[in-house]
Amino acid sequence: MTTSKRVITIATACASLAALLTYAGAAQPLKVDFSDETVGGEPKSFVSVVGVWRIESDGNNKVLVVDGRQWKEGQTAAGIADKARALYGDRYAEFLDRVQAYAYFPYVVAKDVTDFRDGEISVRFEGISGRIDQGAGILFNLKPNGDYLTVRANPLENNLVLWKFEKGKRSSVKWIRNTPTPTRQWHDLKVSIAGPKVAAYLDGKLYLQHALPEPVSGRIGLWSKADSHMYFDDFTVTPAD
């Protein structure tokens, strides 16, 4: 074998190994329980984009809290330019412009998941207060232009909704009523993704199924609304095998 061919073969093998390791790392489940976070500070495991998000104590446990009582619509998180750059690198300007123009709903983005496609995302949540809303959502399909999808539960309304946020406008994709979600109780919310197919579970029960126009691909996180004061814990991401 010539030297040039040997170099090409080694380079190809290294590239294949790197791709395999990347895939293997991406396929590992990720669980965030906030036990190593600092009470009173912003979460280290999530990037706060819109709204007031911080770590608080719930008894002996640490939880992620969104506090709509201290938030005014249109208010992005502090240091949003640096956060946008950390999420999207050279494409941060497009994301930043969209967020600043349409900061209507509080959300945070998981730092360690850059492109979620197939698998499950779950979180525990508790509605503490909120006269207008008590929204707890799993955000997914977040694009560099700021578009995203979210499945949202609401203890005030007892419904489960798949929302689309596109070009600064929110619209409902699918609405499921009569989903008991009492305030001041912990609940489990899970979203299952398989290509374009979305399924949503509340407290272990399948309520919502929908086929999107195209497969899911993008960043993920947590979502809320208006004056919601919500606790979140045990955020878990399980990629499909």
DSSP string, 78-109: TTHHHHHHHHHGGGHHHHHHHHHH---S-EEE
Predicted TM-score (pTM) of the model is 0.88
Q: Report the distance separating Cα 146 and Cα 112, nearest Å.
A: 18
Share of the chain above pLDDT 90, in %: 85
* Confidence band, pLDDT 50/70/90 cuts, at residue 9: very low
Bigger pLDDT: 163 vs 4: 163
Q: Report the distance separating Cα 186 and Cα 231, nearest Å.
A: 9
Q: Is the pLDDT of residue 234 over 90?
A: yes
Which residues, 6 or more positions from 80, have their beta carbon under 8 angstroms from its beta carbon? 49, 96, 99, 100
pLDDT of residue 91: 86
Q: Which tokens hold the place of 90?
A: 């050279």
Q: Is the pLDDT of residue 128 over 50?
A: yes
Q: Is the pLDDT of residue 112 over 70?
A: yes
Best CA proximity match to 138, nearest among 155, 115, 163: 163
Question: What is the chain's length?
Answer: 241
pLDDT of residue 35: 94
Q: Is the pLDDT of residue 2 over 60?
A: no
Place of tokens 């912990």: 186
Average pLDDT over residues 130-144: 97
Average pLDDT over residues 114-118: 96
Which residues, 6 or more positions from 141, have their beta carbon under 8 angstroms from its beta carbon? 147, 148, 149, 216, 217, 218
Q: Report the distance separating Cα 195 and Cα 130, nearest Å.
A: 35
Bigger pLDDT: 198 vs 25: 198
Helix (H, G, I), strand (E, B) or coil at 112: coil
Q: What is the mean pLDDT of the chain?
A: 90
Share of the chain above pLDDT 70, in %: 89
Place of tokens 């446990």: 61
pLDDT tens digits for range 14-34: 433 333 333 333 468 999 999
Average pLDDT over residues 155-170: 96
Q: Report the distance separating Cα 206 and Cα 236, nearest Å.
A: 18
Best CA proximity match to 140, nearest among 97, 184, 196: 196
Q: Report the distance separating Cα 189 and Cα 204, nearest Å.
A: 8
Please tell me the least confidently modeled range out of 8-12, 40-44, 185-189.
Answer: 8-12
Place of tokens 């609405």: 175
Q: Which tokens hold the place of 188?
A: 């489990």
C-beta of residue 227 within 8 angstroms of C-beta of residue 68? yes
